[in-house]
């Protein structure tokens, strides 16, 4: 939303509500405070659609422009693959015009309760690789470099060693596809509490899989929220797995809301990530702790605070 249209809309509303000049001044001052945050972040935090819809409106393009106006230099969209080609292209152009980097989107159908890649079955491997091929086209269309992969549910009839070998073999095939296109799939370990029964849960396990695949196109998505629940030890695990980490996602615990709302010391975590000269994206994969515009302002303020290391 452009600042001029925001003030114009505010003026009309104030007139109707009888707020007068003092009300308008307060609105303008609030808007100026937000605008001053632009371009101040030290890391590439990436909001998603819906995070600022109460302020920016429902249109994805307006939301992207609002994010850029607040200083966010990246964007992620798990559901990008399911959008129309026309909208993908329009969003890609907006991001390019606003110097925003496209983050992850989900590359394939995730089976939350059914064993697929862990089984080694040819039909599951074939379906997965076909979807990776489709995602290459999407990535090129929206100028994405990374795509999220979740290997799915455990096969309770197979030893974990056999399951790991099956997953690694399939990811090698996928890496062959992605390497040719200079793209990266990022494997996301998920916590047992929200997603019980999944194969990939911990950073050391993801590190082991990536080492076995041995490809520049197979790396780790370190979701800080999931790992706080699953195993904690966040910064030491980042240090140990650093060479295989290509992407981060954010969410405080408990609640999976913005930083400062839970137990995770995000200021220290962001400081560590920045100290490693990380140039990648940190996806804001969380909800807002408060409803409406107040909650959206709170998200921006939380990132300003946590980024002030």
How many Å apart are CA 249 and CA 22, to the nearest integer?
A: 41
Which residues are registered as beta bridge partners of 148?
A: 106, 186
Determine which one of 76, 244, 258, 285 is catalytic. 285
Nearest to 302 by CA among 254, 248, 246, 264: 264
Query: Dihedral sign, CA of 194, 199, 204, 207?
Result: negative
Centroid of chain to Cα 195: 18
User: How far is CA 84 from each of CA 15, 77, 103, 228, rounded to the nearest angstrom?
Assistant: 40, 13, 18, 35
Determine which one of 188, 230, 244, 258 is catalytic. 188
pLDDT at 29: 39
pLDDT at 291: 98
Neighbours of 113 (CB within 10 A): 10
CB-based contact 223:189 (threshold 8 Å): yes
pTM of the model as a whole: 0.88
* pLDDT string in tens for the chain (309-residue length): 444 444 334 444 433 333 333 343 344 434 534 444 465 899 999 999 999 999 999 999 999 999 999 999 999 999 999 999 999 999 999 999 999 999 999 999 999 999 999 999 999 999 999 999 999 999 999 999 999 999 999 999 999 999 999 999 999 999 999 999 999 999 999 999 999 999 999 999 999 999 999 999 999 999 999 999 999 999 999 999 999 999 999 999 999 999 999 999 999 999 999 999 999 999 999 999 999 999 999 999 999 999 999
Is residue 122 part of the annotated active site? The answer reads no
Is residue 182 part of the annotated active site? The answer reads no
Residues 33-48: b if buried by 16+ CB within 10 A, e if exposed: ebeebeeebebbbbbb
How many Å apart are CA 134 and CA 206, to the nearest integer?
A: 24
pLDDT at 16: 37
pLDDT at 303: 98
* Domain 40-306 CATH superfamily: Divalent-metal-dependent TIM barrel enzymes (3.20.20.150)
Indicate the Cα dihedral angle 126, 167, 218, 266, nearest 10°. 120
Domain residue spans of the chain: 1-36, 40-306
């Amino acid at each position: 939303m452009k600042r001029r249209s925001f003030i114009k809309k505010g003026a009309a509303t104030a007139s109707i509500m009888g707020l007068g000049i003092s009300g308008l001044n307060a609105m303008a001052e609030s808007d100026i405070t937000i605008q001053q945050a632009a371009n101040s972040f030290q890391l590439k935090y990436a909001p998603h659609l819906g995070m600022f819809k109460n302020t920016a409106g429902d249109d994805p393009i307006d939301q992207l422009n609002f994010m850029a106006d607040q200083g966010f230099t990246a964007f992620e969209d798990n559901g990008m693959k399911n959008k129309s080609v026309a909208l993908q292209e329009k969003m890609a152009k907006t991001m390019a015009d606003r110097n925003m980097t496209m983050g992850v989107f989900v590359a394939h159908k995730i089976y939350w309760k059914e064993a697929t890649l862990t089984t080694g079955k040819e039909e599951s491997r074939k379906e997965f690789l076909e979807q990776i091929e489709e995602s290459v086209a999407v990535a090129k269309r929206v100028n994405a470099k990374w795509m999220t992969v979740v290997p799915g549910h455990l096969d309770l009839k197979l030893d974990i060693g056999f399951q790991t070998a099956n997953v690694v073999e399939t990811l090698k095939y996928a890496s062959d596809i992605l390497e040719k296109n200079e793209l990266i799939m990022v494997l996301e370990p998920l916590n047992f509490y929200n997603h019980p029964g999944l194969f990939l849960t911990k950073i050391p396990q993801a590190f082991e899989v990536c080492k076995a695949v041995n490809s520049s196109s197979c790396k780790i998505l370190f979701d800080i929220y999931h790992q706080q629940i699953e195993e904690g030890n966040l910064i030491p695990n980042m240090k140990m797995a650093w060479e295989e980490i290509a992407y981060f996602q954010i969410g405080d615990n408990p609640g999976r809301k913005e930083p400062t709302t839970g137990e995770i010391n995000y200021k220290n975590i962001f400081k560590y990530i920045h100290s490693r000269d990380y140039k990648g994206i940190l996806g804001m994969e969380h909800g807002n702790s408060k409803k409406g515009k107040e909650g959206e302002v709170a998200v921006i303020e939380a990132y300003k605070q946590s980024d002030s290391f």
